[in-house]
Structures are given as structure tokens and as C-alpha cells.
Amino acid sequence: RSREKLRPAKEIVATALDAILADQPLTAGDETIVMVNGLGGTPLIELYVVFNEVAAVLADKGVVIARNLVGNYVTSLDMAGVSITVCKADADILSLWDMPVNTPALRWGA
């Protein structure tokens, strides 16, 4: 969405979530799936710092993170940075998410 000078994770998350929540408003009690994706060059510990900030913002709004995924899944040649995806989820979406997956990139329940 943008390329900027380094800023604290809290500010980066606030900017990203402002854009996400403007497009998909969430209310207290909504369940979500949150994905924090590295672009290849961001260390995993920094991705978890970003996830922690996302979790704090959503918790303040009463939004529930029902499932999450943190790591390097869709990368760009070891580029520094992060993408944040917030998907509003219902029981049907969560049941599909929980289905077994067996691919080169993702594996669970298989």
C-alpha cells in the first residue's frame, strides 16, 4: 500500500488497520481470521510484534481473533515489510479454515 521510512510497529499497524477497518467495519463480538505475512526479509519475531499490536487494537474494539497465521507465506524476493489481512469470519468460514491442508506452503490437520 505504501513505502515509508521505518516507524514503530504500533504506528504501522494503526495505519494499516485504519485502512482495513474503513473498508470492512467490524463491531464488538465479530470473529476474524488475521494473517500477518512477511515479505521475505522481515524476521519472524518482528512479524509477531506486529501481530501483537493487531491483536491489541482488535481486542480494544471487542473483535475476536478466532484464527491467526503469522509467517512468510506470500513473499517478494526477501523484501522487508509486512502485510496484514483481516477476514471477518462466521461458523462456515471457520469450518472451511479448519479443514486439512497439505500443500508445499501450508500443512495442518492432514
CATH number where 48 lies: 3.30.1180.20
In tens, the pLDDT along 15-52 reads 999 999 999 999 999 999 999 999 999 999 999 999 99
Question: Looking at the domain assignment, is residue 51 inside a domain?
Answer: yes
Residue in 16, 25, 37, 17 with CA at minimum distance from that of residue 80: 37
Reported pTM: 0.91
* Residue 41 belongs to domain spanning: 9-90
CA 110 – CA 108 distance, rounded (Å): 5
Q: Is the pLDDT of residue 110 over 80?
A: no
Q: Is the pLDDT of residue 2 over 80?
A: no
Q: Is the pLDDT of residue 89 over 70?
A: yes
Q: Helix, strand, coil proportions of the chain in percent (round to 5)?
A: 35, 25, 35
